Structure 1
Amino acid sequence: MSAYITATGRFLPGDPVPNNEIEDYLGSVGRASSALRDRTLDNCGIKTRYYAIDKKQQTVVSNAEMAAEAVRTAVERAGLGGDDIELLTAATTVGDVIAPGFASMVHGELGYGPLEIATAQGICSSGMMALKNAYLQVAIGEKRTAVTVASELASRGLKSSRYEELDSDRGVIPMEAAFLRYMLSDGAGAAVIQDAPAASGISLRIDWITLTSYANTEKTCMFIGTGDSTVVKSWMDYPATADAAADGALHLRQRLTMLPHLVRVGVDEYERLCGMGKFDPEQVTWFPAHYSSERMKTILLDELERRGIWAGRPEMWFSNLTRVGNIGSASIFVILDEMMTEGMIKPGDTLLCMVPESGRFAVSFMHLTAVPAPEAG
């Protein structure tokens, strides 16, 4: 049996926020805030992003609500109703609550009838974890119709009020925490997975999904819940939550010096899969890719060229990062939604999606083939 993405949906909160308005929403932190912003934005290439908080730093739509809106759009486009969905898999980095799981909260927002749920927890790769769960269940006939959603609400953890206790005496915050304030965006993306192509339009047959962790050899690069990447002390080991916050344990951080190594790990995985015969790079039409900055794309393509590995032309590597920002686990879904709804994909096209995660280094690839509706032949 096969499994197909028959419809997609996305939800991006509010209006796009240009670079010069970031601090109107997030506020300023530290004496070098604007200089850091400009340097970060020059490297990442992001021009606009979306926030689920307003200029008073109040949340206007929850993470689960964004996810539910993306699901509703995808399900409606598939010509389905809520009672047709047998499985909901959901992913996020940080949900609205620690527990219950994110899928439970999204199901509650949707109000759909009883169904199976699964929550995937992680960072960028969690969306692919959730999608693989749905894909496999449909492919083996366990379910006929499933929906996967990934959603991120980073902004409420990046607002200036969250940093007041951190390094307040010196008036600065660590670069590894500060630069993420200008990189991350809010939003959600969803995909309906069914056991047959849609009755009209283009569907994407899921040929395979791989997700490989390199945590056995790699150190933690991106993290939250500890003040140090060695993870010797959890935020729950502090005497009180306020003590954890003051030590920076509740701020998302990323070891910037490790990012170029993530690219090499990603190319290693690309080369390994190609060598296994999982795909022929010369037959790939599109390379939809999630990356955190335009600079990372350049480093990636340079590394492929240095190794003499064919990976298409630069314009075949598609991302909407510059327009929607870095939405973490939701990014690949929002990318595919744009490609599907804008008519970029034609019958017979093949797509090799790439989602690297810097958490403790995991890399996911997905191979898709565009197929027409049955009556279209």
Structure 2
Amino acid sequence: MKESNMSEVYINRIAKFLPNAPISNDEMEGYLGKINYRESKARRIVLRNNGIKTRYYALTPAGEPTHTNAALTSEAINALFDDDFRSTDVELLSCGTSSPDYLMPSHAVMVHGLLGNRNLEVNSAAGNCCAGMNALKFGYLSVKSGNTRNAVCAGSERMSSWMLADHFSQEVENLKQLEEQPIIGFNKDFLRWMLSDGAGAFLLEDSPRGTLSLKIEWMEGYSYAHELDVCMYAGADKTADGALKSFSDFSSEEWLTQSIFAVKQDTKLLDRHILEKGVESMKRAMEKHHVTPENIDYLLPHVSSHYFVDGLYQGFADAGIEISREKWYTNLRDVGNVGAGSVYLMLEELFHSGRLQKGEQIMLCVPESARFTYAYAYLTVC
């Protein structure tokens, strides 16, 4: 299809859903529980570095679930609708998450089931933090090509239920029987203090609507899996040679005694590559589309921790793409790291802040540490 036949694509509405009340750092362990009845030694170190002050959990204070991931997502999507654009007007539903409620059916069809609106095309984007951007890109390409006139795209996570202390109890008991220290490895404990719940949703259309729209100029994605090892994973474990062994190749007893389904991260690999490849891919995207730092009014970087902010800024500066710090916009401190939903939640907050002026340009920047993937989007305020 020729470029002249392509439609323009606009983000016309943005909505979010954050479950329950915000949870402070001191309250976290009360919700998630203490592994082996002991306070985590990693908690204070991790929280000091990540700079998060509050986050949201789809849990009661007793650790009971209040929402599924699909429910969080449908709540955010329903907030997009009114008498001028109803749920039955949606032509495509595209949802991304790294924490689906089930191995199957897919996340997006479960969201569709809760919406109960009409027969429509559905897409599920899997992976980690880039899953939300991949869901957005599917919707963007559908509207741009003219396949659909609109798309609802969403990014969400419900990680709190994965981090409950009870899920590690069998591993602790196994360590005791082996007469080893009943302490969960840092690669598992680390992420218990990093991740949060929530959902965000965009309405994409082929023409602007209302007093404020964001035109999607372009989107780009880059994977470094061809040269880098797995860094963040769940439902698997690493073997002695660094290969990944699937849960389906472990016994059901090992699923429990080794916490195979816990989310794990190799923090050494993370420190070694996440910023380096982020800078490299950002520069490639900017050069491809002839964007300079002067062409960016707001940079919305999904960072898992404030620990990385200074390094990322310096990396951009060293690569000749320095973006002044007053242009950076993030809500990590108050909302937490919501993985695939974080970029949606950042843009939702900025969109409704009253700060945006027509003609300004926004860069969305999302890294994914799973096997080092990066996604970018460039928007113009209309």
TM-score (norm: length of structure 1)? 0.94
1:136 CA drift (Å): 0.6
* Structure 1 counterpart of 2:77: 71
Between 1:297-306 and 1:51-60, the stretch displaced more is 297-306
Are 2:326 and 1:315 aligned? yes
1:90–1:118 CA contact under 8 A, matched in 2: yes
Paired residue for 1:61, among 64, 67, 71?
Answer: 67
* Structure 1 counterpart of 2:361: 350
Amino acid at match of 1:134: G
1:17–1:51 CA contact under 8 A, matched in 2: yes
* Structure 2 counterpart of 1:287: 299
The 2-side partners of 1:344 and 1:292 are apart by 25
1:344 CA drift (Å): 2.4
> After superposition, what is the alpha-carbon deviation per residue over 1:132-191, rounded to whole angstroms, capped at 9, x for unaligned?
000011011110111001110000010110110124322210101101111100000000
* Structural RMSD (CA): 1.5
1:28 CA drift (Å): 1.3
SS at the partner of 2:329?
A: coil
* Structure 2 counterpart of 1:23: 29
2:93–2:121 CA contact under 8 A, matched in 1: yes
SS at the partner of 2:215?
A: strand
The 1-side partners of 2:169 and 2:290 are apart by 49
SS at the partner of 1:180?
A: helix
Between 1:213-222 and 1:33-42, the stretch displaced more is 33-42
1:195 CA drift (Å): 0.3
Amino acid at match of 1:300: L
The correspondence of residues 211-290 of structure 1 with structure 2, limited to 5 A, is: 211-228=221-238, 230-240=242-252, 242-260=253-271, 261-290=273-302
Between 1:30-39 and 1:207-216, the stretch displaced more is 30-39
1:31 CA drift (Å): 7.5
TM-score (norm: length of structure 2)? 0.93
The runs of at least 4 consecutive aligned structure 1 residues that moved more than 4 Å come to none
2:157–2:339 CA contact under 8 A, matched in 1: yes
Are 2:124 and 1:119 aligned? yes
The 1-side partners of 2:330 and 2:80 are apart by 20
SS at the partner of 1:166?
A: helix
SS at the partner of 2:362?
A: strand
The 1-side partners of 2:314 and 2:323 are apart by 12
Gaps of 5+ in 1: 372-377
The 2-side partners of 1:368 and 1:178 are apart by 37
2:18–2:199 CA contact under 8 A, matched in 1: yes
1:276 CA drift (Å): 2.5
The correspondence of residues 63-212 of structure 1 with structure 2, limited to 5 A, is: 63-76=69-82, 79-168=84-173, 169=176, 170-198=181-209, 200-212=210-222
Gaps of 5+ in 2: 1-6
* Structure 2 counterpart of 1:374: none
SS at the partner of 2:171?
A: coil
Amino acid at match of 2:28: I
Between 1:153-162 and 1:298-307, the stretch displaced more is 298-307
Between 1:348-357 and 1:29-38, the stretch displaced more is 29-38
> After superposition, what is the alpha-carbon deviation per residue over 1:205-247, rounded to whole angstroms, capped at 9, x for unaligned?
001111111100010000001121744421111222x322312
The 2-side partners of 1:333 and 1:167 are apart by 37
1:302 CA drift (Å): 1.7
* Structure 2 counterpart of 1:39: 45
Amino acid at match of 1:178: D
1:339 CA drift (Å): 0.5
State how many pairs are aligned: 367
SS at the partner of 2:124?
A: strand
> After superposition, what is the alpha-carbon deviation per residue over 1:245-275, rounded to whole angstroms, capped at 9, x for unaligned?
3123111011111223111001001122223
1:223–1:254 CA contact under 8 A, matched in 2: yes
> After superposition, what is the alpha-carbon deviation per residue over 1:91-115, rounded to whole angstroms, capped at 9, x for unaligned?
1112111111111000001111111
The 2-side partners of 1:135 and 1:68 are apart by 20
The 2-side partners of 1:289 and 1:90 are apart by 20
Amino acid at match of 1:105: M
1:287–1:351 CA contact under 8 A, matched in 2: yes
SS at the partner of 2:70?
A: helix
The 1-side partners of 2:321 and 2:246 are apart by 43
